[in-house]
Amino acid sequence: MNKSVPANVTIVDHPLVQVKLTQMRRKETISSDFRRLLKEISLLLAYEVTRDLALTEREIETPIERAMFPVLRDREPCFISILRAGNGILDGMMDLLPSARVGHVGLYRDHETLEAVEYYYKVPSDIADREVIVVDPMLATGHTAVAAIERLKKDGAKNLKFLCLLAAPEGIAEFHKGHPDVPVFTASVDKKLNEHGYIVPGLGDAGDRIYGTK
């Protein structure tokens, strides 16, 4: 939708991603379909976000002969889910890269101080040595994503990417201000945020739609 984004924002505009996203946006799409579509889109987004994983060659033996073939050069990436909606993206990512490590970060916003408060944090001890892909379906105000990445950087993560399904221009700007070094991958940059912090036109509350809560 809105294509004027910083250079390190990639909009994954593959037709399958876009038509599945349209289905997810429909208000009549029920939770089970929403979850399935999110998982399917996540596979396609994971494909894009891992496109530049470094390879090396190793000798293996096929039934015919020994020869050199590509394998991952480094340790498998680490996926970090921002709770709770991030877990909806994680499912598809894990299907594609089952040996990836996984961490979870839980943050809520204190209504008085407006600071992000951490209520859960569990990540692999070696995130400094892995590519770290942080996932959350919605980049809305950007505050949670900025705080999560800050926390991970404090723990030594330096090779980071952020993957979401939808972003608001306001969220992209806030994220870029906080972490200009972290590339963002998204299926769409929508029009704006509304006064309640929802992405417009968006798809509503991603967590509620994944888990059927309200």
Annotated binding site for uracil: 199, 204-206
Contact 120, 104 (CB under 8 A): yes
Binding mask 23-62 for ligand URA (x = CB under 6 A): ----------------------------------------
Contact 90, 37 (CB under 8 A): no
Binding span for ligand URA by CB under 6 A among 17-25, 43-51, 88-96, 202-210? 202-210
Give min distance, CB of 93 to ligand URA, in A. Answer: 18
Contact 182, 150 (CB under 8 A): no
Instruction: Tell the residue number behind the tokens 């919605």, with chain if given.
Output: 138
Residue (of 188, 170, 192, 172) closest to 180 by Cα position: 172
Which CB, 143 or 179, lies closer to ligand URA?
A: 143
Binding span for ligand URA by CB under 6 A among 38-46, 50-58, 150-158, 194-202? 194-202
Which CB, 178 or 197, lies closer to ligand URA?
A: 197
Q: Which sequence positions are flagged as catalytic?
A: 109, 113, 205, 208
> Does residue 198 bind ligand URA (CB under 6 A)?
yes
Binding span for ligand URA by CB under 6 A among 24-32, 37-45, 124-132, 191-199? 191-199
- How far apart, in Å, are the Cα atoms of 129 and each of 9, 21, 153, 197? 24, 33, 12, 35
Which CB, 152 or 199, lies closer to ligand URA?
A: 199
Residue 203 sits at the vertex; the CA angle it makes with 199 and 207, to the nearest 5 degrees, is 95
Amino acid at residue number 32: S
